[in-house]
Amino acid sequence: MKSKHVSIIGAGPAGLMAADILCEHGVQVDVFEAKASVGRKFLMAGKGGLNITHSEPLADFVNRYDQAHWLKPMIEEFDAQKVIAWMESLSVSSFIGTSGRIFPTEMKAAPLLRRWLSHLKKRGVRVECNHYWEGFTDDGSLRFSTAKGEKILTSDATILALGGASWPSLGSDGAWVNILARKNIAISPLLPSNCGFKTTWSHYMDPYFGMPLKNVLGWVKNDSGEIQKSSSEAILTSYGIEGGLVYALSRPLREELITHGEATLYLDLLPYVTIAQLTALLAPSGKQSINNIWRKAGLDSVKIALIREGLPKDKWSNPDCVASFTKEYPIKLTGMQPIEEAISTAGGVKREALTEDLMLRNLPNVYCAGEMLDWDAPTGGYLLAASFASGRFAAKGILKSLLNDGIHPNHNAIALR
Count Cβ atoms within 10 A of the Cβ of residue 415 and give its class: 0-12 exposed, 13-18 middle, 19 or more buried. Answer: exposed
Q: 220 or 343: whose CB is closer to ligand FAD?
A: 343
371: contact with ligand FAD by CB under 6 A: yes
Q: Are 360 and 176 in contact (CB under 8 A)?
A: no
Q: Is 48 in the site for ligand FAD (CB under 6 A)?
A: yes
Nearest distance, CB of residue 373 and ligand FAD, angstroms: 8
Backbone phi, then psi, for 19, in 5-degree steps?
Answer: -60, -40
Q: Report the nearest approach of ligand FAD to the CB of residue 150 (Å).
A: 13
- The single residue among 158, 250, 337, 387 that binds ligand FAD, judged by CB under 6 A, is 387
- Contact in structure between 379 and 242 (CB atoms under 8 Å): no
What's the chain's Rg over C-alpha atoms?
25
Rounded CA-CA distance 398/407 in Å is: 12
Q: Provide, rounded to whole angstroms, the least separation between the CB of residue 242 and ligand FAD.
A: 12
Max CA separation in the chain (angstroms): 91
* Rounded least distance, CB 44 to ligand FAD, Å: 5
Site for ligand FAD in 227-256 (CB under 6 A): none
Burial of residue 284 (number of CB atoms within 10 Å: 0-12, 13-18, 19+): exposed
**Nearest approach, Cβ of residue 289 and ligand FAD (Å):** 42
How would you classify the pairing of strands 344-349 and 227-236?
unpaired
Q: Per CB under 6 A, does 10 bind ligand FAD?
A: yes
Which one of 21, 27, 45, 165 is in contact with ligand FAD (CB under 6 A)? 45
Phi and psi angles of residue 74, each rounded to the nearest 5 degrees, phi first: -70, -45
Return the residue of 4, 6, 8, 14 that touches ligand FAD, per CB under 6 A: 14
Among 15, 26, 348, 397, binds ligand FAD (CB under 6 A): 15
Query: Using the rule CB under 6 A, is 51 a contact of ligand FAD?
Result: yes
Q: Which stretch binds ligand FAD (CB under 6 A): 262-270, 328-336, 375-383, 401-409?
A: 375-383
Region near ligand FAD per CB under 6 A, out of 81-89, 235-243, 319-327, 383-391 = 383-391
Rounded to an integer, what distance in angstroms lies between the CA atom of residue 399 and that of residue 157? 10
When binding is defined by CB under 6 A, the residue of 6, 8, 9, 297 that contacts ligand FAD is 9
Cβ contacts of 401 within 8 Å, gap of 6 or more = 157, 357, 359, 365
Nearer to ligand FAD, 281 or 369 (CB): 369
Rounded to whole angstroms, the Cα distance separating 82 from 88 reads 10
Residue from the set 133, 136, 208, 325 that interacts with ligand FAD by CB under 6 A: 133
Provide the edge-to-edge strand list for the sheet that holds 132-136: 132-136, 142-146, 149-153
Which DSSP string corresponds to 115-144? HHHHHHHHTT-EEE-S-EEEEE-TTS-EEE
Q: Which of 102, 100, 85 is nearest to 50 (CA)?
A: 102
Positions in 330-369 near ligand FAD (CB under 6 A): 343-344
The count of residues interacting with ligand FAD (CB under 6 A) is 39
DSSP state of 247: H
Q: Which positions from 154 through 173 interact with ligand FAD, judged by CB under 6 A?
A: 161-163, 166-167, 171-173
Considering the rule CB under 6 A, would residue 11 count as an interface residue with ligand FAD? yes
Characterize the bridge pairing of strands 240-242 and 197-198: antiparallel
Residue 403: CB minimum distance to ligand FAD, A: 25
Phi, psi of 411 (to 5 degrees): -65, -15
Nearest Cα residue to 376 out of 230, 195, 199, 226: 195
Stretch that binds ligand FAD, among 35-43, 148-156, 282-290, 313-321 (CB under 6 A): 35-43
Rounded to a whole number of angstroms, the minimum distance from the CB of residue 237 to ligand FAD is 16
- 36 CB neighbour count, 10 Å cutoff: 10
CB of 291 to ligand FAD, least distance (A): 37
For residue 41, state whether it binds ligand FAD (rule: CB under 6 A): yes
Q: Which of 8, 13, 250, 378 binds ligand FAD (CB under 6 A)?
A: 13
Q: Which residues sit at the interface with ligand FAD, rule CB under 6 A?
A: 9-15, 32-35, 40-42, 44-45, 48, 50-51, 132-133, 161-163, 166-167, 171-173, 175, 343-344, 370-371, 381-384, 387
